[in-house]
Amino acid sequence: MKLKDKVTIVTGAGGGGTGRATAHRFAHEGALVVVNDVNEAGGRQTVALIESSGGRAAFCRADVGKESDVNALFAFAQSTFGGVDVLVNNASSPDGLGRLTGWIECMQLEVLGPMRAILAAIEIMRRRGGGAIVNIGSTSALGHGRKHSSWPSYDAAKMAMMRLTTTLGVLRDEDKIRVNCLVPNWIASPGPKEYWESLTPEQRKERGVPAALISPDEIADAIHRLATDETLFGRIMVWWNGEPPRLIPVGDPGYERLE
C-alpha cells in the first residue's frame, strides 16, 4: 500500500511515544492523519509537529473506551478527509490498573474500543475498496514461560487483540482489508523510559529489565511495514528487546512445548 493521500487514524497519538512517532511517520509519506487522544494539548502538539514538517493532520479528541466517541472519531475522519484507509489501534493506558482492579475499564479501552474501531473501519474500507488495520499487543501476554505484567486484565486484553488479528486475516481475501498486529517488548515511551533510566545496569539485570529499549521511531517503522506490506495479513510480529522483529509462523500452535 502506498500511503500518499491515504486517510490514517492513529489512536493514542497525543503523547510522546509510539502514537506520535507513527502519526509523524505516516504523514511524512503523504498520509492524511487523524491524530486521536484524550490529551487535547498533546494531540494538537502532534498535529503541529506534522504540519511543521509539511504534512497534513487534524486532531480529534475521543476516548476510544466509549462507543459514542469511537463513532464520533470515524465521523470526523470522513467529514475532514473523506474516509478511512488505515487504522492504527495504538491507544492504551495500563496506569492505575491493579492485579484485581480496573478490569472493566481496561476491557473498555484495550479490547472493546479497538473492536468498535475495527468494525467502523471495515464498513468504511469496504466502500473504498480495501485498507489496512494494525493492532498493538504486548509480549507480557505471550506464552506461559515468560514473565507477565502485574495487570492480568491488561495481558488478557492484549492477547485478545492478537487472536482477533489472526481470525480477521480472512478479510484480505474477502474485502481487501489486511489486519496485522505488532507485539513489542519494552519501548522507550515516556513512562517506561523514566523507570528504565532510574535503574542501574545491575538493577535492570536483577529485575529482568532489558539492557536497551526499542525507540518509538523504530516501532513506527514496524507499524508502517505491517500497514503497507501487501503480503502480510492476519500476522503477528513479535519484537523482543535486543532481537530483530519477527513474525509468528503461519500455523504455529501457540505453544513451545506441551507437558
Active-site residues, by number, are 154
Strands (E), the chain: 7-10, 32-37, 56-61, 86-89, 131-136, 177-184, 236-239, 246-247
Strand 246-247 and strand 236-239: pairing?
antiparallel
Q: Are 1 and 132 in contact (CB under 8 A)?
A: yes
What residues have CB less than 8 Å from 171, skipping those under 6 apart?
122, 177, 178, 179, 233
C-alpha to C-alpha distances, 248 to 233, 254, 256, nearest whole angstrom: 12, 9, 12
C-alpha 31/C-alpha 193 separation (Å) is: 29
Other CB atoms within a 10 A radius of the CB of residue 72 amount to 15
C-alpha 36/C-alpha 53 separation (Å) is: 19
Phi-psi region of 256 (alpha: psi -120 to 50; beta: other; left: phi over 0): alpha
Q: Give 196's strand partners.
A: none
What letter represents residue 138's amino acid? S
C-alpha 131/C-alpha 163 separation (Å) is: 19
C-alpha angle 20/139/228, rounded to 5°?
A: 50
